[in-house]
Structure 1
Amino acid sequence: MEQRIIDTAAAPAAVGAYNQGKQIGPFLQLSGQLAIDPVKGGILAGGIEAQTEQSLNQVAVLLAEAGASWADVLISRVYLSSDDDFEDFDRTYSKIVPHPYPARVTVGAQLAPGALVEIDVLAVVAK
């Protein structure tokens, strides 16, 4: 099956042994997106709403680079550093991700210092 690596300077560069995304056949997996400050680098200062918006914007940039959109997303996986942030996260997510929403898994996890949320997605993309 044909494979393609997603790599764009318009989103934060990978900081380890992984790619921003990889497509095999119609399946596109994007790596988890922490909210990276586009000006200063590093984790974006601010609360869960600001970090959720930034993470989702980075996902959208990577989807676009792959020729996809939120309409192609089958599932999003969300990692929150605190379960207490769920309501504020969900309110922000629902304002940005269009209907019909993809399936979603949301779990609590230990994230990088200062990170409140990390989001990855699996999309199905026509050639």
Structure 2
Amino acid sequence: MPNRAIIKTDKAPAAAGTYSQAVKVNDTVYLSGQIGLDPETQQMVSGGFVDEAHQVFRNLAAVCEASDGSLQHIVKLNLYITDSNNFVAVNEVMAEFFQEPYPARATVVVKELPLGAQFEAEGVMVP
């Protein structure tokens, strides 16, 4: 039986459904999707896509830290955007939070995201 731990931090938004912020199995951490919710208010940040993207990566970083890691420990990142025109912006914001070597990544354009979010990110981390 693998060693399994549930990760929870108040520095990222509380789970809004039947899921954990992250689950650690042995040395791998599976990070649930984060949207642009402010962890203090549980409300979406205002200001548009770039502000949402910054909050998403801050939330993801908080869960990584609660898992004894950092964004730099993410090996696979899945990004979901509701408008393909934001692809360039997501790369620019991501460059503020990640340095080379970058994680493997997929970016998927979706019809909609929870709570009207424009961006969501989830990943796999090995601290």
2:70 matches 1:69: yes
Query: 1:116 — aligned with what?
Result: 118
CA shift in 2, pair 1:105/1:80, >3 Å: same
SS in 2 for 1:30: strand
Number of residue pairs matched by the alignment: 125
CA shift in 2, pair 1:13/1:83, >3 Å: same
Query: 1:85 — aligned with what?
Result: 86
- On the 8 A contact 1:70/1:98 being kept in 2, the answer is no
- On the 8 A contact 1:27/1:124 being kept in 2, the answer is yes
Identity across the alignment (%)? 28
- On the 8 A contact 1:36/1:42 being kept in 2, the answer is yes
Residue deviations 1:79-110 (CA, integer Å, cap 9, x gap): 00111111111111112212211111000112
Separation of aligned partners in 2, 1:118 and 1:80: 7
Q: Which amino acid aligns with 2:83?
A: S
Residue deviations 1:5-56 (CA, integer Å, cap 9, x gap): 0011111000111000001111100100000024432221122111111000
Separation of aligned partners in 2, 1:11 and 1:40: 11
2:76 matches 1:41: no
2:96 matches 1:100: no
Equivalence map 1:1-16=2 (5 Å) = 1-16=2-17
- On the 8 A contact 1:81/1:116 being kept in 2, the answer is yes
Query: 2:29 — aligned with what?
Result: 28
Unaligned runs of 5+ in 2: none
Q: Which amino acid aligns with 1:16?
A: G
Separation of aligned partners in 2, 1:67 and 1:20: 14
Normalising by the residue count of structure 2, what TM-score does the alignment of the two structures yield? 0.92
Q: Which amino acid aligns with 1:33?
A: Q
The ranges of structure 1 where at least 4 consecutive aligned residues each deviate by more than 3 angstroms after the TM superposition are none
Unaligned runs of 5+ in 1: none
